[in-house]
Structure 1
Amino acid sequence: MEQKTTESFIWKPYLITVLFIVLMTIGLRATRDFFDQVNAVLLYLVPVLYSAVRWGRGPAFFTAGIGILAFDFFFVPPVFSFTVSDLRYLISFIVFMSVAGLTAGLASKLRSQIVQARQREASTAALYALSRKITAVSDLEALLAEVVPHISEMLKAQAAVLLPSRVEPMSMEVYPMDAQAWAADEAHVSVAAWVYRHNAIAGRGTKSLREASELYVPLHTDRQVHGVLVISVGDIPLAEMPGLILTAEALSDLVAVAISRVKLASEAKVAQLSAESEKLRTAMLDSLSHELRTPLAAVTGSVTSLLEHESLFTPEDRRELLVTIREGAGRMNRLVGNLLGMVRIESGMLRLNKHWCGVEDIVGVALTQLKDSLQQRVVDVRFDPDLPSVPLDEVLMEQVLINVVSNAVKYSPENSRILIEAGRSGAMLELKVRDEGKGIPAGELQMVFEKFYRGKATSSIPGTGLGLAICKSIVEAHGGRITARSGTGQGTEIVILLPVHMAEGEDGKI
């Protein structure tokens, strides 16, 4: 059935041109009193040009031959005969065929150029569409899952990508998985391995394996060969292969660049994570060696004095030493807690265990833990009377309050006031902690929430620069926001906004 359809399609242009000549001849015969023979023979050039533009050179020459025979039979004396009474008509026939051949050749060439231009336009559009599709893909398997079907659709042929195996160095893996039915054949893999090693194209239409049914194109960039693009071209005529090879090479270059970009992005991410891990490790060691030394020295000195000179101390002295020990232990506990908290955040191990909590309880627990660290500062707590319960991880939010209030104590003078306010702001709970210190310069308000950042004016005060960074991560994990406000000489205000309602999909715990 398919062969019969193909044959009818091949003969269709010739049948149409015959019908065209018949209708034109009938029309010219009916109007022969208005057209002389010169005009008639020129009109027979019209179907020749149409055939050349529409179907090419073969139908055009066929139309020219049918046209000259019709002109001879119906218009050249003796009419209704193929004989010619005047030999000068033979010159007219020769000129007609020459003009017809020239115009047919030019029209056919123009048609070919139009077809090639359309093919180039389609190829360029397909390449552009493919480049747009893979621009945002950052995973190798997802990239190939996008690329291979696009190539198959563009070339109207099966396609697959073979990459070096990550498990067995001497073998190759086929992408995508549904292409393994044919591309994973041992013959294909062996040829692809040769193409990969030699960075040379092979297969149908090339110097190597010219008569094969597949085309193997290396995916290479300036840095390296990343893999091989395999295209099952079937029995496409060798005369059509150069154009297909050019398209396949353009596609392979685009795919190779995309694979290289994904690999470089992955390597850059690993390098960044390594650098961040090294920075965190260094900061932790610095903190352990410097920040722990002061409270540890105070604890050690107080314990040593109590053990070696217990009889020399009054009950008030002993109580003061014990308070010093408790303050030092609390400071070390907060420091170690911050360091471990940052490790949890950086490693992605931070998990929330939300419950409906009253912010009054969280503030109360935080202030209780900081009771000995306030150092004669006055804490003023102001809550709206109708504060709602909020879905929180109370342990993590206590750590946030402890870090924020500790900073307020650290960066404000003794006997100053620390104000803690809580109220509702729309769908958010607003919690403010304000001190009466020197404040933070406007250019540093956002930077104080970055890891290891220490302000220039406070660099002499002990600290790791992790407290507010941990607060930011915990608050944002709750779906909230934390900001800093400040004015020179007016203190610093930390504002925490937390959602009042459970997020969609949450049910008491996360």
Structure 2
Amino acid sequence: MDQTLVVTTSLAGAIGLAALTAALIAGVVVLTTRAHRRALEHARAAARAEAAEAAAASRARLLIRLDHELKNPLTALRTAAASAQQLLAGEERSAEVEQAVATIGGSSRRIARLLADLRKLADVETREIDRRPVDLAALLELVVDDARTAPGAEDRMFTTSVPRAPWPLPQVRGDEDLLHTALLNLVTNAVKYSADGDTIEVRASEEAGAWVAIEVADTGRGIAEDDQRVVWDELSRGSDVRSIPGSGMGLALVKAIALRHDGRVELRSRPREGTSVRVLIPAIGPAR
């Protein structure tokens, strides 16, 4: 009887030890698998980040090269247009000649603006950003004042809303000049693609204590649904605004500046009703 009890106890102990060993091995396998998955996810994320950085650097080099290659021909074209204007001054000119000279001058100016915008985009994507605390409330006042001088702005209704109670808008850390460029692009875009009597609202808010959101909304012509998918791309313009002067670089520049500040952009629009664009930048902290 005693021997049977000893054997049974020993067998149970052996089974228990084997089960414990199996459980430990299974735990090690699970932990190893999880660690492997995490390492694989980190490696994939690092690869994606490296690929995105390489693509951005390649695009920046292309923009810089394009600017360099077109600068001299453009200068020659503008010089020739000015010379033709002087040579033909005071002479009898047909409507066709007048139109040809005007077309050359207008096209050369448009290319010059496009190159300037491409240069800005390449600079934003590659330059080192001098990050300092920026008071977006004060910056917005400056942006709206500057936008009021844009053509047609005198016939728009501007409203600005910045929270001041119970505490002011948090500051952000970034390059004040670049942020001014991005926000001014949005407000002047709202002026450009709206009509006399339309409303342009500039609103600021704190989002979840972690973000500062700047929204520029208008009651203008809006953007077609198909165009909204590509509106942030370089050189992209809506199908119904080709008659309005522009390079198609404004929103691409806004997006690039937001990304360089670890932020993001959002757009909502309804044709013939209006457009709302938001830029979100990480807040330094609640300014209480």
CA separation of 1:483/1:326 partners in 2, compared to 1, >3 Å: closer, same or farther? same
Report the equivalent of 1:130.
32
Q: Secondary structure at the match of 1:494?
A: strand
Report the equivalent of 2:250.
467
Aligned Cα RMSD in Å? 5.0
Equivalent in 216, 230, 244 of residue 432 of structure 1: 216
Q: Secondary structure at the match of 1:484?
A: strand
Q: Is the 8 A contact 1:478 1:498 kept in 2?
A: yes
CA separation of 1:54/1:433 partners in 2, compared to 1, >3 Å: closer, same or farther? same
Equivalent AA in structure 2 for residue 333 of structure 1: A
Q: What's the CA shift for 1:360?
A: 2.3
CA distance in 2, matches of 1:263, 1:274: 16
Q: Is the 8 A contact 2:125 2:260 kept in 1?
A: no
Equivalent AA in structure 2 for residue 382 of structure 1: F
CA separation of 1:493/1:378 partners in 2, compared to 1, >3 Å: closer, same or farther? farther
CA distance in 1, matches of 2:117, 2:55: 26
Q: What's the CA shift for 1:302?
A: 4.5
Task: Say if 2:138 is the partner of 1:360.
Answer: no
CA distance in 2, matches of 1:505, 1:424: 14
Report the equivalent of 1:403.
185
Q: What's the CA shift for 1:425?
A: 4.8
CA separation of 1:270/1:385 partners in 2, compared to 1, >3 Å: closer, same or farther? closer
Structure 2 unaligned blocks of 5 or more: 92-97
**Radius of gyration: which is bigger?**
1
Q: Is the 8 A contact 1:296 1:328 kept in 2?
A: no
CA distance in 1, matches of 2:30, 2:72: 61
Report the equivalent of 2:272.
489
Report the equivalent of 1:49.
4
Q: Is the 8 A contact 1:338 1:467 kept in 2?
A: no
Report the equivalent of 1:303.
82
Q: What's the CA shift for 1:416?
A: 5.4
Report the equivalent of 2:95.
none
CA separation of 1:284/1:403 partners in 2, compared to 1, >3 Å: closer, same or farther? farther
TM-score by length of 1: 0.39
Q: How does 1:407-422 map to 2 (within 5 A)?
A: 407-408=189-190, 412=193, 419-422=199-202
Report the equivalent of 1:41.
none
TM-score by length of 2: 0.62
Q: Secondary structure at the match of 2:272?
A: coil
Equivalent AA in structure 1 for residue 5 of structure 2: Y
CA distance in 1, matches of 2:42, 2:160: 53
CA displacement, residues 3-41 of structure 1 (integer Å, 9 cap, x when unaligned) = xxxxxxxxxxxxxxxxxxxxxxxxxxxxxxxxxxxxxxx
> Between the two proteins, what is the percent identity of the paired residues?
18
CA distance in 2, matches of 1:125, 1:385: 57
Q: Secondary structure at the match of 2:177?
A: helix
CA distance in 1, matches of 2:241, 2:109: 26
Equivalent AA in structure 1 for residue 3 of structure 2: V
Q: Secondary structure at the match of 1:383?
A: strand
Q: What's the CA shift for 1:303?
A: 3.4
CA distance in 1, matches of 2:80, 2:274: 35
Q: What's the CA shift for 1:288?
A: 7.2
Q: What's the CA shift for 1:309?
A: 5.5
CA distance in 2, matches of 1:294, 1:419: 42
